[in-house]
Copies of this chain bind each other. A is one copy, B any other.
Amino acid sequence: MKQLYHVLGAKQLVRDELEELFESARAMEEVVAAGGDRRYEGRIMTTLFFEASTRTRLSFESAMHRLGGSVIGTENAGQFSSAIKGETLEDSIRILSGYSDVIVMRHTEIGAAKRAAKVAGVPVINAGDGAGEHPTQALLDAYTIKKEFGRIDGLKIAMVGDLTYGRTVHSLSYILANYQDVMIYYIAPENVQIPVNVKRYLDEKGIEYMETDDLDAVAGSVDVLYQTRIQKERFPSVEEYEKASGRYIVDAELMSRMGRESIVLHPLPRAGEITEEVDADPRAAYFRQAVNGLYIRMALIDKCLGGSR
Contact = CB atoms under 8 A, between A and B. Distances in A.
Question: What is the total number of copies of this protein in its complex?
Answer: 3
A188 to B, nearest CB: 19
A147 interface: no
A72 B55 CA distance: 11
Contacts of A38: 41-42
A95 B62 contact: no
Interface in A23-64: 35-38, 41-44, 46, 52-55, 58-59, 61-62
Interface in A250-280: 268-272
Interface string A67-84: 010111111110011100
Given A55-B82, A95-B290, A87 B269 contact: yes
B80 A72 contact: no
A44 B61 CA distance: 10
A66 B43 CA distance: 8
Given A54-B82, A91-B268, A98 B291 contact: yes
A75 B72 contact: no
Nearest to A229: B85
Contact of A82 (B44, B91, B269): B269
A54 B80 contact: yes
Nearest to A74: B54
A73 B41 CA distance: 20
A271 B87 contact: yes
A94 interface: yes
Contacts of A72: 58, 61-62, 65, 71
Contact of A44 (B46, B55, B62): B62
A77 B53 CA distance: 10
Nearest to A232: B85
Tell which of A42, A44, A94, A100 has the most Cβ of chain B within 10 Å.
A42
Interface of A: 35-38, 41-44, 46, 52-55, 58-59, 61-62, 65-66, 68, 70-77, 80-82, 85-87, 91-92, 94-96, 98-100, 229, 231, 268-272, 287, 290-291, 294
25 contacts: A35-B42, A35-B43, A36-B42, A37-B42, A42-B66, A44-B66, A52-B81, A54-B77, A54-B81, A54-B82, A55-B82, A58-B72, A58-B74, A62-B99, A76-B80, A82-B269, A85-B231, A86-B272, A87-B268, A87-B270, A91-B268, A91-B269, A92-B269, A94-B290, A98-B290
